[in-house]
A and B are shown apart, each in its own frame.
Chain A
Amino acid sequence: MPPRGDTTAPLARRLQSAAAAPAVLFFRLLEAPFQLIQRVGGLRPMPYLFLAPNLAFFGLFVVVPLFVNFAFSLTGGTNLYLSDRVWTGTEQYEFLLDCTNFTDPLTCREDRFWKGIFNTAVFIVFQVSFLVLFSLITALILNRKIRARGFFRAVFFFPVLLSPVVVALIWKWILLRDGILNAFLVSLGLPKILFFVSPEWAMFWAIFVSIWAHMGFYTLILLAGLQAIPPDLYEAAEMDGTSRERVFRRITLPLLWPNLLVVIVLALIKGVQIFDEVYVLTGGGPGTATQFIVQYIYTTGFSSQVQNFGLASAASVVLGVVLFGLTMAQLAATRRKDDV
């Protein structure tokens, strides 16, 4: 951080001490029961004790819903409570997977589910690769000795804090028929472009906007990795007169590889889950060109007149299986690299 850290330090300290008083009291109060358990059971129960509250929340709000979700996928009808729902076995899955030709969504009975999957696949291929590329470039640049580095870091990071709806509205406002981008095109003597009417443009902007919003986060992870690279390696390379391009390929990239993998895994997971931003930006259109898999699940189970929880749940189970497979593959790859 540039020198300005000094000016904010007193404020931060005051804030800290203000927040600390009730916190200290709280932690003191909890000390007794924990000590008691430790005295009785020794160290063995302690990790479980520390994990218990978090796992209880996970259990209640993630595991139980996941089981309910799975149970939903085996039932039909529109009743909310499981006990009222009609058992259908694997019927919902069969309906989803009923295709004569899996490469052509139009031959499937539930064409929108497959279009959602295809669109998501296209989206993540481009989104993840450009996201990683631009995060890397930004991190490399912010790692240089430039003035006002803190400021530039903030510039690239702040969109991460905006809600997806806000991000989408900001860009929608720019891209409308009479928006500022079209005004710019007209001033160059070009015709207006209806961005949300062309499937290619809509997909382009969906990708662009999601990169705009999330790049800052990944940039920081990469920046952390860059700063952990020992500077003497670079100095040695400079002594040898190695070109910068070569230094990048031979030193920076290999040493940054673990961070890059984290970024790729996270970007993939988040890419598959893409929903709110694009939903507000393009509404999934034109036609179904930017309708992604989570939007399909949301509309099927929630926002259509017949709220088809069964089919939506089945689709989410299929999505879960795909995601799990992807992550396992990625984790396996990471581990191998780590061992080297």
Chain B
Amino acid sequence: MTNRLKTMLTSGAVALCFLASSAAAQTELRMTWYNDGIEGEVMQSLLDRFEQDNPDIDVTLDVVPYKAILESLPVQLAAGEGPDLARVTDLGGLSEHYLDLTPHVSDPAYWEASFGPFLQWLRRPGEDRAISGFMTQLTVTGPYVNKTLFEQAGVDMPGEGATWEDWAAAANQVAKALEIPIPMAWDRSGHRVSGPAIAMGAGMFDAEGKPALVDDGLKKMATLLYDWHQDGTMSKELWGSVSGSTYLGANEDFANAQVVMYMSGSWQIPQFAEKIGDAFDWWAVPAPCGPAACTGMPGGAALVAMKGTEHPAEVGRLMDYLSSEAVLAEFYGRTLFIPGHLGLAAAGVDFDTDDPRARHALQTFAGAVPGISPTAFDLQGYVYNRVMFNALISRLGEAIVGELTLDQAFERMTQDITRQIAEKERGG
């Protein structure tokens, strides 16, 4: 017993010393990553191949909970303790920490040609040349429906050009006929609401490009959502049950056929393919329309290089490899992600699935990209868009549970946004 304890203690001490002095002969790069599905495994296999071809570079993938990407990573970056590369979703908000890869990649023109519009999302305000990374995944928001339920209920699915009201009515009809508890569910997220709000005519910015969230279009969508929660079209379980900007999805409920129509986005495809399989026909439908447009929101996660890195040249080589057309085609194909690469988007990616539902959904969402409203693109590229999304969802949530009236909620949204942007611009 004594001996074992001693060996444990000594080996512990040795391990600690080893960790403290991990002086590597090769260049070590750290990539902070989070997972929604299998993309971490795919990335790891790509990195293994890269390391084989480049024996002088060692890349370590540090997989963290998504919470750490949102909360810890900004603090680590600000303290100069960040990784060399990271997969982030707050594209503009962290832009002050990004490295401009232009001098370090072999062919900046390729980057400009392949990732043009998405590079802008990663740039600091007022900047128009920097290359900092690429989209590991482009996402488009849009609804899924449980087609099998529609068939069982004998209700026709609204076709191309149908409005949100049409869909709500149809979903209600199906739910009523089959006693489904939730006719319609939306992710609890400001990002999700923004697309339909723009469809209703929301402008999001004023003439000078300053954020102006609350206008008639947004009020229209917000009122509609508010009413749906009161009349039972949407369940308060999602929007009414947590506070602030906490994200909640209805993916589990949808996968269990408890929801007729589910407003989410393209990133659900791999998960639905795995979880639902052929239990029912889950069907992605084009974004429903409002008076102004029929649009979802673009979005996604990007792999970016960080300014704090000590090895920009090696980071450049890694990024060259990962962003090459062949490698990206494999990455998107295996992960079932919509490509964030213009060439691949045009040529089409061979997705690694034989599920007809998943193929249809990928087609629908990829096909929706060209139709996305320019306002939605601007909003996604805006540095403080998360401030706007968070104000929108948290205040609307408070209105839906009855803590605020809708008018009070609108007023608070504007206040929240002004206040937070002012704080940010005070220096930082």
Which A residues touch B5, using CB under 8 A? 18-19, 22
Query: Once the chains bind, are B243 and A197 in contact (CB under 8 Å)?
Result: no
Indicate if B16 sits at the interface (CB-CB under 8 A): no
A19 to B1, CA, bound (A): 9
Indicate if B245 sits at the interface (CB-CB under 8 A): yes
CB distance from A65 to the nearest CB of B (A): 14
Given A21-B2, A286-B241, decide whether A80 and B75 contact each other with a Cβ distance below 8 A: yes
Which A residues touch B387, using CB under 8 A? 304-306
Which A residues touch B408, using CB under 8 A? 106
Query: Once the chains bind, are B243 and A194 in contact (CB under 8 Å)?
Result: no
Nearest neighbor of B238 in chain A, beta-carbon distance = A197
CB distance from A80 to the nearest CB of B (A): 4
Nearest neighbor of A192 in chain B, beta-carbon distance = B181
Indicate if A77 sits at the interface (CB-CB under 8 A): yes
Indicate if B397 sits at the interface (CB-CB under 8 A): yes
Query: Once the chains bind, are A84 and B243 in contact (CB under 8 Å)?
Result: no
Given A78-B423, A306-B423, decide whether A177 and B242 contact each other with a Cβ distance below 8 A: no
A102-123 contact mask (Cβ, 8 Å, vs B): 1 or 0: 0000100101000000000000
Binds B, one of A48-56, A277-285, A317-325: A277-285
Q: Classify chain B: how many residues form its interface, as a range.
A: 35 or more
Give the A-B pair count, Cβ closer than 8 A.
Answer: 130
Indicate if B70 sits at the interface (CB-CB under 8 A): yes
Query: Once the chains bind, are A22 and B423 in contact (CB under 8 Å)?
Result: no
Query: Once the chains bind, are B244 and A291 in contact (CB under 8 Å)?
Result: yes
Given A283-B242, A284-B243, A287-B401, decide whether A196 and B426 contact each other with a Cβ distance below 8 A: no
CB distance from B291 to the nearest CB of A (A): 30
A194 to B426, CA, bound (A): 43
Nearest neighbor of B236 in chain A, beta-carbon distance = A197
Which A residues touch B370, using CB under 8 A? none
Query: Once the chains bind, are B240 and A286 in contact (CB under 8 Å)?
Result: yes
B236-277 contact mask (Cβ, 8 Å, vs A): 1 or 0: 110011111110100000000000000000000000000000
Which B residues touch A39, using CB under 8 A? none
Nearest neighbor of A80 in chain B, beta-carbon distance = B78
Which B residues touch A286, using CB under 8 A? 236, 240-243, 401
Q: Quick one: which of A154-205 are within 8 Å of B by CB?
A: 177, 194, 196-197, 199, 202
CB distance from A83 to the nearest CB of B (A): 11
Which B residues touch A287, using CB under 8 A? 240, 243, 397-398, 400-403
Q: Quick one: which of B90-126 are within 8 Å of A by CB?
A: 90, 93
Indicate if A85 sits at the interface (CB-CB under 8 A): yes
Nearest neighbor of B385 in chain A, beta-carbon distance = A305
A283 to B188, CA, bound (A): 13
Nearest neighbor of B10 in chain A, beta-carbon distance = A22
Which B residues touch A151, using CB under 8 A? none
Q: Classify chain A: how many residues form its interface, as a range.
A: 35 or more
Given A76-B427, A78-B428, A194-B236, decide whether A284 and B404 contact each other with a Cβ distance below 8 A: no
Indicate if A101 sits at the interface (CB-CB under 8 A): no
Query: Once the chains bind, are A17 and B2 in contact (CB under 8 Å)?
Result: yes
Query: Once the chains bind, are A77 and B78 in contact (CB under 8 Å)?
Result: no
Nearest neighbor of A176 in chain B, beta-carbon distance = B237
Contact among B9, B74, B241 with A282 in the assembled complex (CB-CB below 8 Å): B241
Query: Once the chains bind, are A307 and B75 in contact (CB under 8 Å)?
Result: yes
Contact among A79, A109, A289 with B428 in the assembled complex (CB-CB below 8 Å): A79
Query: Once the chains bind, are B242 and A284 in contact (CB under 8 Å)?
Result: yes
Which A residues touch B9, using CB under 8 A? 22
Query: Once the chains bind, are B243 and A291 in contact (CB under 8 Å)?
Result: yes
Nearest neighbor of B67 in chain A, beta-carbon distance = A303
Which B residues touch A177, using CB under 8 A? 181, 237
Indicate if A316 sits at the interface (CB-CB under 8 A): no
Which B residues touch A285, using CB under 8 A? 240-243, 246, 397, 401
CB distance from A219 to the nearest CB of B (A): 32
Given A287-B401, A288-B243, 13 more pairs with CB closer than 8 A: A76-B423, A76-B426, A78-B428, A80-B79, A106-B408, A197-B241, A202-B241, A283-B242, A283-B244, A285-B397, A291-B244, A305-B390, A306-B384
B residues with a Cβ closer than 8 A to A are 1-2, 5-6, 9, 70-71, 74-75, 78-79, 90, 93, 181, 235-237, 240-246, 248, 384, 386-387, 390, 397-398, 400-404, 408, 412, 415, 420-421, 423-424, 426-428
Q: Top 10 A-B pairs ranked by shortest CB distance? A: A283-B242, A284-B243, A78-B428, A77-B427, A287-B401, A80-B78, A305-B386, A285-B242, A196-B241, A18-B1
A residues with a Cβ closer than 8 A to B are 14-15, 17-19, 21-22, 76-81, 84-86, 88, 106, 109, 111, 177, 194, 196-197, 199, 202, 282-291, 295, 299, 302-308, 310-311
26 A–B contacts, CB within 8 A, in A order:
A15-B1, A21-B6, A22-B9, A77-B424, A77-B427, A78-B424, A79-B428, A81-B78, A84-B428, A106-B404, A111-B412, A196-B241, A197-B401, A199-B401, A283-B242, A283-B243, A284-B246, A285-B240, A286-B242, A288-B244, A289-B401, A291-B243, A295-B243, A299-B244, A304-B390, A305-B390
